[in-house]
Homo-oligomer: A and B are copies of this chain.
């Protein structure tokens, strides 16, 4: 795993020591060699060696001297977020969105390829190739410089990155996304359900970043959910959590039918525009949609009692027509209606969650520091 992480680079070095130093520097203040040696348990000489090589690779930089210090202060070193890249890919029904971010999660490059929900497996995977190769080219990066990749897809995903069930996309059940992406980039590839990744993005830097327990609702032509419980993405025992939509009594399978008369391909927003301009039938269709959405949402809220409900997905752009009616319906069914917030990520939330998934993998690898004994034994 640690070898994979850096695309093989670190394994040519005393990589455990290198990871120990990065693990200490990342997310913390700049440190002197003496401080680094103490925190890593490496000898002073080993620490100097490792820091020199990490600087040569660009992973560690020298920090600016503290203002106002007298005499010649000891040099301090910091982790460079720019040292590596992660990739996030949203494989959606209507688009493929690929993003390259630095190790602090700042998105540096984006590539979007439009697709249709009726596309076959082969064509959709070709569009994935286009988006990924395109964003790597825009970033001026070789596939070997991607430390980890996150991929979002509709449906259920197994632990190996294979789609086990997709109701939204034809021919998608059974596709091995981890293997497919593995041909485009080096480093580990993590695949996860798109609603969950959108929830993860909200919990990371979105409107839910201060909440521990969150129900994220993807509201669009599909309805889905991602759950944050105790500050962590809840996946369930067999990675099948959040599938309340499969229960007819929860109303979600009915919900979108109310909008069907208004739904030309790619023109879903019409019903909201019409309702906004005073069309009574459109307003009633939206009302019926919200009423059905609210049944499943109430089941989630009554089960978990979250601090927040976050509305994302395509319909979040029509929050003015959805949030208040939804709140009234939740008031009707729930013992306590949580605060409702609207995602600010537009249709990039899922890709951002995929970036976060990749970054989480990098972090856990960096934080997996070697035991002191092991590190010391490897020191020169």
Contact = CB atoms under 8 A, between A and B. Distances in A.
A307 to B, nearest CB: 4
Given A237-B306, A241-B305, A305-B243, A299 B335 contact: no
B335 A246 contact: yes
A164 B227 CA distance: 27
A229 B305 CA distance: 13
Interface string A320-361: 000000000000011110100000000000000000000000
Q: How large is the interface on A (under 10, 10 to 19, 20 to 34, 35 or more residues)?
A: 35 or more
Given A248-B333, A250-B302, 11 more contacts: A229-B234, A234-B304, A238-B305, A242-B303, A243-B335, A244-B302, A246-B333, A247-B298, A247-B302, A247-B333, A249-B251
A336 B238 contact: yes
The 7 A-B pairs at the shortest CB distance, nearest first, are namely A236-B305, A241-B305, A237-B307, A240-B305, A299-B299, A243-B302, A249-B249
Interface string A39-63: 0000000000000000000000000
A300 B165 CA distance: 20
Nearest to A229: B229
A246 B333 CA distance: 7
Contact of A295 (B156, B239, B247): B247
B295 A236 contact: no
Contacts of A156: 335
Contacts of A306: 236-237
Interface of A: 156, 165, 212-213, 227, 229-230, 232, 234-251, 295, 298-300, 302-307, 333-336, 338
Given A247-B299, A250-B249, A213 B236 contact: yes
A299 B251 CA distance: 11
A341 to B, nearest CB: 14
A306 to B, nearest CB: 6
A158 to B, nearest CB: 12
Contact of A299 (B227, B235, B244): B244
A234 B250 CA distance: 22
Contacts of A302: 240, 242-247, 250
A335 to B, nearest CB: 5
A277 to B, nearest CB: 33
Nearest to A250: B299
A336 B236 CA distance: 11
Contacts of A212: 237
A119 B231 CA distance: 42
A335 B240 contact: yes
A10 to B, nearest CB: 32
Nearest to A339: B237
A298 B247 CA distance: 7
Given A249-B251, A251-B249, A240 B336 contact: yes
A158 B309 CA distance: 22
A241 B336 CA distance: 10
21 contacts: A156-B335, A165-B335, A213-B236, A213-B237, A229-B230, A230-B230, A234-B304, A239-B305, A241-B303, A241-B305, A242-B302, A242-B303, A243-B302, A243-B305, A246-B334, A247-B295, A248-B333, A249-B250, A249-B251, A250-B302, A303-B303
